[in-house]
Amino acid sequence: MSNGNLRNVAGHLKSQKVELVRADFADSRALAELLPGSDVVVHLAALVSVTKSVADPESSRRTNAEGTIKLLDQCVINGVKKFIFASSAAVYGESNPPLKEDMSCKPLSPYAASKVAGEAYCHAYANSYDLETVILRFMNVYGPRRSGGPYSGVMTKFAEALQQGKGLMIYGDGEQERDFVHVSDVVSSIAAAMTNPKAVGETFNIGSGVPTSINGLAELFISAGGKRVPIEHGPARKAEIKASYADISKARGVLEYSPTFELRKGVGEYLTWYQENCEIQTNAD
């Protein structure tokens, strides 16, 4: 629980269908108890802040790269059949969009490099042992329960500003483009990766496939908030990638992945959630 909030899973815990175990995902003793009999491991845990990975590359390497390798080891030892790995658009670095899975990886941060390492070990373990792996490269995921804080991303910062009645701050000219994908669409991609035999051994981009500029996103937030607030442009961020969005045709074809959540609706829903819940959200990043 280095990030996130137990309240986010409270409903699931009450349902009795989910068991929560608090442990380091690379702790072999805990895994030796938990993994036997498991069909699939979906590996989402990571230190996710790119900025923090630059400031503290060792933690990012230890958790994201070495931790993933240890988890893969335990999956092999304990007879897990399938491993789904949450990778990231960050592996593409400055590559020209639309990003395609067969482009070469050009990691620009320790975080991105740790994801490339995780992917490489997934391939190696799938080839060397009796473990099926699927790699999902998520674009910019958003939706309810996304926690706040300085590393939380543009959606949370816009929601926070509107809630405080402030204007929106945009780095640079705001024409930088991102691929925002709703968490419910990401969940459907994970479910497909778990069950579809054609996914085994493959890597998929999971996004909306639609580029959205930060200026465009700001307008969606202002419209959802129902009140005109000023937009301020600050200095551009150093080495910020200009455009990042995915070609999702492979996931559409193989996984039958079909993102359905329209961004305008998603922004409205997220802002409402934020306004109703943010006081009780703790900033754990």
Question: Which chain residues interact with ligand NAD by CB under 6 A?
Answer: 1-4, 24-26, 44-48, 63, 67, 86, 88, 138, 140-141
At 115, give phi and psi (nearest 5°): -75, -40
- Taking Cα atoms as reference points, which of 237, 192, 223, 188 lies closest to residue 208? 188
> Quick one: DSSP state of residue 69?
H
- Give me the least distance between CB of 138 and ligand NAD, in Å please: 4
- Joined together, the tokens standing for residue 280 give 């009780």
Nearer to ligand NAD, 44 or 108 (CB): 44
| Shortest spacing between CB 165 and ligand NAD, in angstroms | 27
Q: From the CB of 227, what's the least distance to ligand NAD, in Å?
A: 27
d(CA 28, CA 37): 16
Amino acid at 278: C
Indicate the residue among 140 and 208 with the shorter CB distance to ligand NAD: 140
CB of 226 to ligand NAD, least distance (A): 26
Closest CA to 37 of 86, 7, 75: 75
Residue 246 in 3-state DSSP? strand
Cβ contacts of 206 within 8 Å, gap of 6 or more? 136, 137, 138, 139, 181, 185, 186, 189, 246, 248, 251, 257
Please, which residue, 167 or 216, has the CB nearer to ligand NAD? 216
Strand pairing partners for 87?
137
Closest CB to ligand NAD among 3 and 78?
A: 3
CA distance 27 to 45: 13
Known catalytic residue at 111? yes
Residue among 51 and 128 whose Cβ is closer to ligand NAD: 51
Q: Please, what is the minimum distance in Å from the beta carbon of residue 43 to ligand NAD?
A: 7
Q: CA distances (Å), 186 to each of 18, 96, 141, 245, 265, in order?
A: 19, 23, 8, 15, 16
SS3 250: helix
* Catalytic pick among 92, 111, 121, 245: 111
Catalytic residues, by residue number, are 111
